[in-house]
Structure 1
Amino acid sequence: MPSPTPLAYWRDAPAFGRIRLYQGDITKLDTEAIVNAANTSLLGGGGVDGAIHRAGGPAILEACRQIRARQGGCQPGAAVLTTGGRLPARYVIHTVGPVWQGGHKQEPELLACCYRHSLALAEQQQVASVAFPGISTGIYGYPKAEAAAIAVREARAFLGEHAFPGTVVFVVFDEEARRFYEQALQA
């Protein structure tokens, strides 16, 4: 039997009020919820989406299939909640970010909606902590610096008016993304 995956602890990550910045693997993070940069089908894919589905196991896919049966998937800017399956996180919040088309097709508004709707679901569940990847910054091509600025702005605005989630953790994969989030958090 394989040994369990070690948890990744975010509590020692740099803090900016109720926001933390963590570099590492979101599927190993010990937050109460993690956000999945999903596609409209909710059936898994590449990048973060595929990693979350693989690490979380079949319970996440089954929950996504039930959501699809009820509402036909998830539209860009929207968010839905499932179990965390085998992940350390209790919940996965799936949100569909916009595909970057130059910034003139409502991409900034849709990306902001991803954060607002995901945070609203976290608040409804009264989660203590929620972790976000860089939504839309992978294959969807959203410029990382602009996406980080939107993520930080929306998280700060939401946290300023709500008690839950207690902490938002932005999870970055590489040094470039880390710099963009640090710049946005220090602005």
Structure 2
Amino acid sequence: MRILRVTLALLIISFNFFVGTVNAADTEEIYTGIKSLSLSLGEEAEFPIILNHAPNGLAGYYILLEIENENIATIIDVKYPNWAILNDSIFNDGSVLLKGIDLENEIKEESGNIELATIVLKAIKEGETDIKLKVIRMTDDFGNLMTPSTKQSRILVLSNNSTVTPLVTPKTTPGFEVIFTIVGIITTLYLLRRVKF
């Protein structure tokens, strides 16, 4: 009977541990600072990549950012925050592999809204495309792997002539308005004279 109780207790502890681990991982998410972005042809824009929560701090990461249709927009630069002293960017056909390492342990436990990098892109063709993020490797300050979820964003590139045309109400020239009014009065008087009550 005692063995059964001990076994059940161990099962409950194990279950709570694994459930807690899964829930903690689920709260970690990487996303861009935009949900959707509209640009004109030739226009440049920048947006951050953010980690919402680092319960055990952050040691470093490898993240792949990809523009699904590289003909619509292209990545022209990457900027890193001050904490990522050791960093690198590898560009390849519409994607960039981002690397950032926290050498001085500036990202502490329970840090939130951590800027990982800032992406600078340029619109080169009219159309729409998605921005996708993939975590290649990310570790916390204890060397544990982090598996945050990711959110994708969308870019819309408009031609420089894609503007909304305002609705203009035609206006009659003032001179013609006077003529039309006089003609209307004369016609009315003529009809009244012919009508017999």
Same fold judged by TM-score > 0.5? no
TM-score, normalization by structure 2: 0.28
TM-score, normalization by structure 1: 0.29
Tell me which protein shows more strand as a share of its residues: 2
Answer with 1 or 2: which has the greater Rg.
2
